[in-house]
A and B are shown apart, each in its own frame.
Chain A
């Protein structure tokens, strides 16, 4: 598969989850594990552009896929992705554990929404699959809306 634009190839046990492949084999520990039941969304990453809870997928199921993790969001010269910048600017994180998954879920949400402002309601509904215990979601919603505005301004 390609992970963050780099081709990777491994022989893995059939039962290995994608999240464990990313973390334990590739060392990409920005993708977190927060539950056993695919409720928390801390492990969310993009598989072929769609947000996926990487604990629900076997590594072998992602064979040949393009996978993007939080480590692949900033540009090569270190410039933050507008969502990363938005979370920083709007205090959209506290302990930071849910943050990578939240940002990856938001990336898919904003992409699916397309250009133009995104409503509070749409953001709240769009991130219902990701749990945060610290922020009360208020600043996460602000961060995603601010980032979506910025992403609309600058065509990718």
Chain B
């Protein structure tokens, strides 16, 4: 454990406006599609319209006849690749049966959008035309779309595997079955967490230039260093001859935490044709072949004593992995399982996970990655239990919270929560809510046909993905350690460049990291430039995902700056003929603690280090820069309480979110404005999933939600204003005390909405409704509760309504009502 160091803060903690923004608001930022490389060709991909088929023949003659088309390549042409696309994270000690995923299909396609051929030519419009002229003959094969159907192995996605089940994994602590047998109350539910899309507004894009034995790639990626490593493995190019640049990246949300087929295709074609090759994803492609998220069917059981003490929680998770594995696919539910106990003391827990292949696109990490799913089932089930016990859900939460004095707290899984104060965030949220007023409004609105409900979610999550020993090959089984790097370089004039291995796509690292470094070096953030996303400039990095950038990368930058500050102090002490212990950062200078007028600015110190060696202590290395790799001792565990108030139109079932209160704790704030921004966006992502968004395939595996016409991202009209507040409980895991906030809002959001909707409908006899809470689904639940439904629509046990697709996994055969926003 590290102690929190008091820093002479000036800029840390301030809501500084972002350094990134001037180029962004003036249209001068450079995303991949804004880059032109001389001699560049364009690529388009021919994709399968079949969900499962054998490729009989491919005729490219029509495409090749169009002007400027240089080549059409198929899977056979790429036989010189040394490795298929990677899956890098399998649960430790678990046998995982995964099919190889090649950039172009080899004989068989397994989902709609599977890449069959690529077309390369001079003009992007002609290349798109040419892709339409490639004639592919398919022999259709049987299709399985529903995950629970796929479990039966009657139709196989990959014949060669002999089963659709990729793996089973069980982890737990205590004795769940015994606790359930002894319990006073047991609640069982089937909870569907449906398939969603990351949907960054910038689709993916790649430019690859292979020139004289070196490969340079610009990609809209969250993980440039991992991509460089993979190019070396897959194409046999020495890593030192590969440079990957993530330029301005227009949102990621996990969707760009992937090693993609198109990245390989551009690089391979560039090498083959000796020309740069560019590919820009269309939105239709993005919906079909940028990985999806969620898609689990969860069977949960929660046991309690009559007084509300929760004694056990069990989740049986069926994970729809899609037709292949992505980079981290098998590990997604496991990541959630690590915080299965949430904010509560639950002595007996078990997670059983089954991965299942279907003829749909892969699922992988999307904002929260496993933790939203787990938090959803836990927080929804808590409310179901409260109802069963006839207890206030707030009281039930309070009763079972881990107390502030219990930290560090070891969960039954052996995970150690770093710090927390759960009751405080919930109490603050309640203060902001005014429950008495809300219940009065609820009563009066009912008379107008408006059903008002309030729902709560108290979460804790695991983030700051590191430490390398815990997550790496001998820990949780990731194929690489998760540390982070920083290189802080003070220039001769005293301005500073910080190179970070984190790779942001909207988060504001350039501002937050500059604040951290500036305070430590006694300078101003305006002269601290943060460079990211270029493997040719800084040391090895691991990228941005899992709310890890600040608590790993930011701490790396802090430590590097602190080491430099020590050197600066020694130089100043030498020049002032003072003791180094008396030198402190005071008012923008390294100055004598007792006599702050005596001191040197960073520029003056840099002058000594670079220009006048006689001003340096004897034997001290010249120059002023520091490289550092930081690997923490533990994860970090942010937490908070979210409250959602909904109004439901009883006549139509339409749900409106009318208030959202978020009290989050991610440790001491570096820049409160950036924290609020992450919470707003995170919650909006969760509202999208809960009410509007759903990736829908029909029963033949056709993607129904293939564009933004059918996939309903929420607009400004559907999202409320947010009421936010924070508490600050430092993490003992790092010297800044910071946690993470990028995913917290999304993790917290969906159960608060479901709980609010159920609160609004409970007096009508509705006890549970699955997401997405579209008007149709809510209205049907009301009709059934009022005895006007036809047939046994057993929403009581959380079974999906028949009209939503029987036994549907949310993305199985369903109606495209995700578009009903």
Residues of chain A contacted by B31 (CB below 8 angstroms): 29, 32, 97
Any chain A CB within 8 A of the CB of B525? Answer: no
Residues of chain B contacted by A135 (CB below 8 angstroms): 677, 680-681, 684
- Smallest CB separation, B233 vs chain A (Å): 29
Any chain B CB within 8 A of the CB of A63? Answer: no
Name the residue of chain B whose CB is nearest to the CB of A124: B716
Any chain A CB within 8 A of the CB of B505? Answer: yes
Contact partner, A88, options B21, B203, B507, B708, Cβ 8 Å? B21
**CA–CA, A94 and B199, complex, Å:** 15
Residues of chain A contacted by B745 (CB below 8 angstroms): 136
Cβ contact within 8 Å between A94 and B508: yes
Interface-forming stretch among A46-54, A110-118, A126-134, A148-156? A126-134
Among B117-143, those with CB < 8 Å from A are 125
Instruction: Tell me if B's interface is mostly helix, strand, loop or mixed.
Output: loop
Residues of chain A contacted by B30 (CB below 8 angstroms): 29
Cβ contact within 8 Å between A95 and B25: no
Any chain B CB within 8 A of the CB of A39? Answer: yes
Any chain A CB within 8 A of the CB of B685? Answer: yes
Any chain A CB within 8 A of the CB of B153? Answer: no
Name the residue of chain B whose CB is nearest to the CB of A39: B708
Known A37-B707, A94-B508, A133-B253; contact A30-B202, beta-carbon cutoff 8 A: no
Cβ contact within 8 Å between A138 and B707: no
Cβ contact within 8 Å between B716 and A140: yes
Name the residue of chain A whose CB is nearest to the CB of B35: A29
Contact partner, B201, options A73, A98, A120, Cβ 8 Å? A98
Any chain A CB within 8 A of the CB of B674? Answer: yes
Residues of chain A contacted by B249 (CB below 8 angstroms): 95
Cβ contact within 8 Å between A37 and B677: no
Any chain A CB within 8 A of the CB of B390? Answer: no
User: How does the 8 Å CB contact mask read for B492-525 relative to A, with 1 for contact and 0 for none?
Assistant: 0000000000000111100000000000000000
Cβ contact within 8 Å between B24 and A136: no
User: How does the 8 Å CB contact mask read for B11-32 relative to A, with 1 for contact and 0 for none?
Assistant: 0000001101110111111110
Residues of chain A contacted by B508 (CB below 8 angstroms): 94
Residues of chain B contacted by A128 (CB below 8 angstroms): 715-717
User: How does the 8 Å CB contact mask read for B693-737 relative to A, with 1 for contact and 0 for none?
Assistant: 000000000000001110001011101011000000000000000
Any chain A CB within 8 A of the CB of B250? Answer: yes
Contact partner, B708, options A35, A127, A140, Cβ 8 Å? A35
Residues of chain B contacted by A7 (CB below 8 angstroms): none
Known A94-B508, A134-B681; contact A99-B24, beta-carbon cutoff 8 A: yes
Cβ contact within 8 Å between B680 and A136: yes
State how many residues of chain B have any CB contact under 8 Å with chain A.
54
**CA–CA, A141 and B684, complex, Å:** 14
Among B352-406, those with CB < 8 Å from A are none
**CA–CA, A97 and B20, complex, Å:** 12
Cβ contact within 8 Å between A93 and B685: no
Any chain A CB within 8 A of the CB of B79? Answer: no
Known A36-B707, A95-B505, A127-B716; contact A138-B721, beta-carbon cutoff 8 A: yes
Any chain B CB within 8 A of the CB of A74? Answer: yes
Cβ contact within 8 Å between B251 and A95: yes
Known A91-B17, A91-B673; contact A97-B25, beta-carbon cutoff 8 A: no
Any chain A CB within 8 A of the CB of B33? Answer: yes
**CA–CA, A35 and B673, complex, Å:** 29
A interface bracket (residues with beta carbon within 8 Å of B):
35 or more
Contact partner, A139, options B283, B505, B506, B680, Cβ 8 Å? B680
Residues of chain B contacted by A36 (CB below 8 angstroms): 282-284, 707
- Smallest CB separation, A38 vs chain B (Å): 9
Contact partner, A95, options B28, B506, B680, B717, Cβ 8 Å? B506
Cβ contact within 8 Å between B33 and A136: no
Name the residue of chain B whose CB is nearest to the CB of A85: B25
Q: List the count of A-B residue pairs having beta carbons below 8 Å apart.
A: 171
**CA–CA, A135 and B283, complex, Å:** 20
Instruction: Tell me if A's interface is mostly helix, strand, loop or mixed.
Output: loop
Cβ contact within 8 Å between A141 and B721: yes
Residues of chain B contacted by A141 (CB below 8 angstroms): 716, 721
- Smallest CB separation, A25 vs chain B (Å): 12
Known A36-B283, A94-B677, A96-B506; contact A71-B719, beta-carbon cutoff 8 A: no
Cβ contact within 8 Å between B719 and A136: yes
**CA–CA, A28 and B24, complex, Å:** 13
Residues of chain B contacted by A28 (CB below 8 angstroms): 27
Cβ contact within 8 Å between A133 and B717: no
**CA–CA, A134 and B22, complex, Å:** 18
Cβ contact within 8 Å between A30 and B27: yes
Cβ contact within 8 Å between B677 and A91: yes
Cβ contact within 8 Å between B200 and A97: yes
**CA–CA, A35 and B713, complex, Å:** 12
**CA–CA, A54 and B348, complex, Å:** 58
Any chain A CB within 8 A of the CB of B683? Answer: yes
**CA–CA, A80 and B721, complex, Å:** 27
Contact partner, B681, options A100, A129, A133, Cβ 8 Å? A133
Residues of chain B contacted by A32 (CB below 8 angstroms): 31, 33, 201-202, 250
Contact partner, B24, options A73, A96, A124, Cβ 8 Å? A96
Cβ contact within 8 Å between A131 and B201: yes
Cβ contact within 8 Å between B677 and A139: yes
**CA–CA, A71 and B684, complex, Å:** 29
Residues of chain A contacted by B25 (CB below 8 angstroms): 70, 80, 84, 87-88, 93, 96, 99-100, 103
Cβ contact within 8 Å between B709 and A37: yes
Name the residue of chain A whose CB is nearest to the CB of B251: A95
Known A30-B28, A36-B284, A37-B283; contact A133-B685, beta-carbon cutoff 8 A: yes
**CA–CA, A36 and B717, complex, Å:** 22
Residues of chain B contacted by A100 (CB below 8 angstroms): 25, 27
**CA–CA, A138 and B200, complex, Å:** 18
Contact partner, A97, options B125, B202, B674, Cβ 8 Å? B202
Residues of chain A contacted by B681 (CB below 8 angstroms): 94, 133-136
Cβ contact within 8 Å between B17 and A30: no
Residues of chain A contacted by B33 (CB below 8 angstroms): 23, 29, 32-33
Cβ contact within 8 Å between B250 and A95: yes
Cβ contact within 8 Å between B26 and A133: no
**CA–CA, A30 and B684, complex, Å:** 26
Among B1-49, those with CB < 8 Å from A are 17-18, 20-22, 24-31, 33-34
Residues of chain B contacted by A40 (CB below 8 angstroms): 201, 283, 708
Cβ contact within 8 Å between A42 and B683: no
Known A37-B709, A40-B283; contact A70-B201, beta-carbon cutoff 8 A: no
Contact partner, B21, options A69, A93, A138, Cβ 8 Å? A93
Cβ contact within 8 Å between A97 and B201: yes
**CA–CA, A72 and B557, complex, Å:** 37
- Smallest CB separation, B24 vs chain A (Å): 3
**CA–CA, A129 and B708, complex, Å:** 11
Name the residue of chain A whose CB is nearest to the CB of B20: A96
Residues of chain B contacted by A89 (CB below 8 angstroms): 17
Residues of chain B contacted by A139 (CB below 8 angstroms): 676-677, 680
Cβ contact within 8 Å between A29 and B27: yes
- Smallest CB separation, A29 vs chain B (Å): 4
**CA–CA, A36 and B249, complex, Å:** 19
Residues of chain A contacted by B817 (CB below 8 angstroms): none
Any chain A CB within 8 A of the CB of B784? Answer: no
Any chain B CB within 8 A of the CB of A21? Answer: no
**CA–CA, A84 and B21, complex, Å:** 9
* 10 nearest A-B pairs in the assembled complex, by CB-CB distance: A30-B27, A97-B250, A95-B506, A96-B24, A136-B684, A136-B680, A70-B27, A94-B506, A39-B708, A29-B34
**Chain A interface residues toward B at CB < 8 A:** 13, 15, 23, 28-37, 39-40, 42, 69-71, 73-74, 80, 84, 87-89, 91, 93-100, 103, 120, 123-125, 127-141
A-B contact pairs, 24 of them (CB 8 A): A23-B33, A30-B29, A37-B707, A37-B709, A39-B707, A39-B708, A80-B26, A91-B18, A91-B676, A93-B21, A94-B507, A94-B677, A95-B249, A96-B25, A128-B717, A131-B715, A133-B685, A133-B713, A134-B506, A134-B681, A135-B680, A137-B715, A138-B719, A141-B721
7 new A-B contacts, CB < 8 A, other than A29-B30, A84-B25, are A29-B31, A91-B676, A95-B248, A100-B27, A133-B713, A134-B506, A135-B684
